[in-house]
Amino acid sequence: MQSKTRPLDVVEKDEKVDNSQLRKLRQRPSLFLSKVQVIVFTGDHAGLETYMQAIDEKTTLRDVALHVLSYLEVEKAQLSFVAEYADAIEMTVTQDRVEGDKDQISLELITGFFSTALSCKVKWSIAKDCVAVKHDEDQKHFEQIPFTEANSVLQMKKKINIMTSIPVEKMRLVFNNQVLSNELKMQAYDIEKGEELLLQTAPRKLIIVIPNRRVVSLIAQNNETVEDICRRACMKAQTDPANLHLCNDKKKLDENKLMGEYSKDDLRYLTVENGDAIESMKQLQAILDKDRPSEHKSLTFAGKQLEDDRTHQHYDTQIHTTTQMVLRIRGGGDAPMKFADVENTGTIEDFGLDKKGKLYRQVDPGLSIEGMCTTEGCKAINEMVIFIAGFGYFDLEKSKATCPLCNGSITPVKPAFNDCRWKIDVQKPNGVVFNVGWNIAGINQYITYDLDKCVIAEFSRLIIHTTTIIKKQEEESVTVPINGTCAICHKMKKEEESITVLKCGHNYHKSCAGKWEKRGSNCPHCNDILAKR
C-alpha cells in the first residue's frame, strides 16, 4: 500500500511531505514535534502515516482516535494504539463517540511531549454509509451493507441476500439483542450508520408445554410462522389445535409472524393456551377499576390466591365461577436489616490476626462477615463464625453468608477486613445515604467493629466494597525495558529471547522486526533505521 502524506504546519499548506523529509523534521523538535503528532499505521494499513496538527497539553487519546477515523474516512473503527514501552490501548470510535476506558489519557504524557510516534493498528472498520452484518456462523468477518434509515427491515434483508445469497425468509436480523420485525423501518430501532447487526440463520430448539401437560420439543426454522409451530406442537402432543394459541410467558404471539422475527427471550417460556391467563383477567379488572394497576392486586378462588403465570384450567375454575379481587396493601415494605452501626467509625479497632484461631474463625485477605451459626448439630452452633467474602462487593440484602463448618446460612452481624482497601455505602430506612470512605487494612491486621461499643442499627441497603492493595512499584531499571506491547503486531512481548532491541532502544518481536525491515520501513516510534544493537 502506498504511503499517504498530509500537509504540516511547518511547511507550505499544499506541500506534500515524504518519509525522508519527515525524518529530517523529526530531528528538529523545535519546528516539528511541538506542533505535530506522528501516527504510524501497522497491520493491513502498514505504510500509511498521518500527522495530527494543532495539539497541546489538553490533547488526549480520544482526540487521536477521532483524527484517525477522519483520516481513514470510515463510519466506525476499532483501533489499537501503542506508545513506546507501553501496553496497547484499544478503543472503538464513531463520528460522535469514543468507547474505551483510557480515552482521556494525555497524549503528551505517553509520547514524551510528542517526541515519539504512536503506532496504530486498525482491528476493523465500517465503510461510509454502511452497517456491518455479522453472520452467526462466522462473527470474525462481516459484510458491509449500504444503509438507509428509511429502509424497512425486509429491504435490508434483501440487500444482505444480494451479498450473501442467503434466502430472506431464512434470516433473523438482530440489533442490541432485539430481533427486527420485517415490516418496521430501520430507524424504528435507532439504528445508525456504522452500527453492527447480527444475522442468524440457524434453526432453534423450542420447548413447549401443551394443555394436556405434555412437554414437546421442536426444531423451528426461521421461515415458519407462529401458527405453524402451534399446529406442529399440538400434533406431536396428539392434541386438537382448534382454539389453541402459542404464548410466551402467558402472552399470545402473533400467529402470522415468522419465527425469524422473534428473539430467544420472546420464545423462552412457550406454552399452548386455551384460556385467558390469570394476569389477563386482572388487567381486564384494572380497566373496570382504574384506581390501581393489576400488580397491586391478587385474585382468589375458593380461598386460594391465584398466581399470575397460571391459567384458569390449572385451578379448575369454570364458566360462571366467582373469583375475588383482593387489593395488595403497600406500606411497611421489607423489614429493615439489622447490622453493626458502621457509621460509628469510632468503634473500629484492630484485633490482630489470631493465627491459632478455631476453624470457624479463620481469616483470608479481603472482607470477612461475622455472624452466629444457629444450625443444629454444627460444632459452631451459637458461636460467632467468620464467612470469608473475599474481594469485590457484599450486598447485605442479596449476598449470602454461611458457616465455614456446616455451610448453613448465618445472619451477618458485622464486617471485618484484612490486607485490603475497603469502603461501605449505606442507605438508612429514612432514605438518608452516607458512606464510610476508603480505608486500608494491613496484612497483619483484623479491622472490625467492637460490639461492646458498637450498637446494632437498622438499614434499608448496605453494600461493602473491597479491593486489593496496590503495592508500591519497584524502581525502574536503567536497562532498556522489553515489556509492554510490540508496536508492529500489537501483541504482548513475553519472552526475552524473541525480542530484537534496536540501536534506538526500541524493541519488537524478532519476526515482526524482520517483516517490517523487509518492507523498507523504519522504527515505528522514532523513524530510525532498523539496526540491531
* Predicted pLDDT of residue 509: 87
pLDDT (mean) for 214-236: 89
Q: Do 155 and 259 have their domain in common? A: no
Q: Are residues 116 and 231 in the same domain?
A: no
Provide the pLDDT confidence category of residue 211 given band limits of 50, 70 and 90: confident
Torsions phi, psi of 45, nearest 5?
A: -105, 15
Q: Spell out where 55-203 has E strands.
A: 74-82, 89-94, 98-99, 118-127, 130-135, 138-146, 172-175, 178-179, 196-200
71 has a pLDDT exceeding 80: yes
Cβ partners under 8 Å of residue 236, min gap 6: 216, 218
Which candidate, 272, 355, 278, places its Cα nearest to that of 310? 278
Whether residue 332 is contained in a domain is answered as no
Residue 72 sits in a domain of what CATH number? 3.10.20
N-to-C CA span, the chain: 29
Backbone φ and ψ of 447, nearest 5°: -90, 125
Report how many domains make up the chain.
Answer: 5
Sorting pLDDT into bands at 50, 70 and 90, what band is 90? Answer: very high
Asked, for residue 381, whether it belongs to a domain, the answer is yes
Where does a domain end: 168, 200, 232?
A: 200
Same domain, 208 and 195: no
pLDDT at 405: 94
Out of 4-18, 59-73, 263-277, give the one with best mean pLDDT: 59-73
Strands (E), 101-191: 118-127, 130-135, 138-146, 172-175, 178-179
Element (H, E) at 305: strand 304-306
Residue 372 three-state SS: strand
pTM of the model: 0.50
Q: How many CB atoms lie within 10 A of CB 96?
A: 8
Residue 164 lies in a domain: yes
Identify whether residues 62 and 96 lie together within a single domain. yes
User: Residue 30 has what pLDDT?
Assistant: 41
Q: Write b or e for each residue in 262-274: b if 16 or more Cβ atoms lie within 10 A of its Cβ, otherwise e.
A: beeebbeebbbbe
The proportion of the chain whose per-residue pLDDT surpasses 70, expressed as a percent, equals 77
* CA angle, residues 128, 134, 138, in degrees to nearest 5: 140
194 and 218 co-located in one domain: no
Residue pLDDT, tens place only, 118-149: 999 999 999 899 998 988 756 567 888 899 88
pLDDT of residue 374 exceeding 80, the answer is yes
Question: CA separation (Å) from 46 to 298, 425, 510?
Answer: 67, 50, 17
**Grid cell in block for residue 51:** 500527522
Assigned C-alpha cell, 279: 394476569
When pLDDT is cut at 50, 70 and 90, the band that residue 24 belongs to is: low
Higher pLDDT, 9 or 521: 521
Strands 324-327 and 297-301, sheet pairing:
antiparallel
Domain co-membership, 519 together with 425: no
> Contact 323/317 with Cβ under 8 angstroms?
yes
Task: Give the pLDDT band of residue 308 (cuts 50, 70, 90).
Answer: low
Q: Give the span between the Cα atoms of 245 and 273, in whole angstroms.
A: 5
Backbone angles phi, psi at 486, to 5 degrees: -70, 125
- Provide CB contacts within 8 A for 168, sequence distance 6+: 154, 157, 158, 160, 161
Of 127, 142, 163, which closes a domain?
127
Co-location of 255 and 160 in the same domain? no
**pLDDT reading at 332 higher than 60:** no
pLDDT of residue 262: 86
Query: Do 210 and 274 fall into the same domain?
Result: yes
115 located within any domain = yes
226 domain residue, yes or no: yes
**Where does a domain end: 176, 200, 224?**
200
386 and 458 housed in the same domain: yes
pLDDT for residue 217: 87
Q: Is residue 307 part of a domain?
A: no
16 assigned to some structural domain: no
66 inside domain: yes
Both 437 and 371 in a single domain?
yes
Mean pLDDT of 188-210: 88
CA–CA separation, 427 and 436 (whole Å) = 12
What local confidence, expressed as pLDDT, does residue 2 receive? 35
User: Distance between CA atoms of 346 and 349, rounded to whole angstroms?
Assistant: 8
Residue 504 belongs to a domain with what CATH number?
Answer: 3.30.40.10
Domain that holds residue 378: 337-468
Contact 194, 223 (CB under 8 A): no
Distance separating alpha carbons of residues 78 and 125, to the nearest angstrom: 6
Please enumerate, as own/partner, the contacts of 384-388 that have beta carbons within 8 Å and a separation of 24 or more: 384/413, 385/360, 385/361, 385/410, 386/360, 386/361, 386/362, 386/416, 387/412, 388/362, 388/363, 388/364
Own/partner contacts of 55-61, CB < 8 Å, gap of 24 or more, are 55/107, 55/108, 55/114, 56/108, 57/106, 57/108, 59/106, 59/107, 59/108, 60/103, 60/104, 60/105, 60/106, 60/107, 61/89, 61/91, 61/100, 61/102, 61/103, 61/104, 61/105, 61/107, 61/110
Residue 41's DSSP bridge partners are 120
CATH of the domain at 262: 3.10.20.90
Is the CB of residue 373 less than 8 Å from the CB of residue 360? yes
With pLDDT > 90 as the criterion, what percentage of the chain qualifies? Answer: 26
User: Can you give the pLDDT at residue 528?
Assistant: 79
Based on the fold, state whether residues 384 and 496 are members of the same structural domain.
Answer: no
Q: Are residues 363 and 377 in the same domain?
A: yes
Predicted confidence (pLDDT) at residue 448 exceeds the cutoff of 90: yes
